[in-house]
């Protein structure tokens, strides 16, 4: 019985914790006409507007 209580209490505490929320300055970028073999770079700014730590695990080009 105590075990069930602790499991339920832990689930309630976890669900009450804040969640991270990512907010991007912009979500796309148009490089226009690009020459072959060109190296292109663009920085996307973002911030965490949530109440928990935001962990970025994977970043890939779309």
Q: 42-52 pLDDT, tens per residue?
A: 999 999 999 89
User: What element of type H or E holds 4?
Assistant: helix 2-16
Tokens linked to 39: 């190296």
φ, ψ for residue 9, nearest 5 deg? -65, -40
Query: Whole-model pTM above 0.95?
Result: no
Read off the pLDDT of residues 15-28 as tens digits, 9 standing for 90 and up: 666 899 999 999 99
């Amino acid at each position: 019985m105590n075990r069930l209580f602790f499991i339920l209490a832990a689930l309630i505490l976890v669900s009450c914790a804040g969640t991270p929320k990512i907010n991007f300055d912009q979500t796309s970028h148009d490089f226009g006409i690009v020459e072959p073999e060109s190296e292109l770079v663009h920085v996307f700014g973002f911030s965490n507007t949530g109440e928990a730590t935001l962990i970025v695990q994977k970043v890939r080009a779309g």
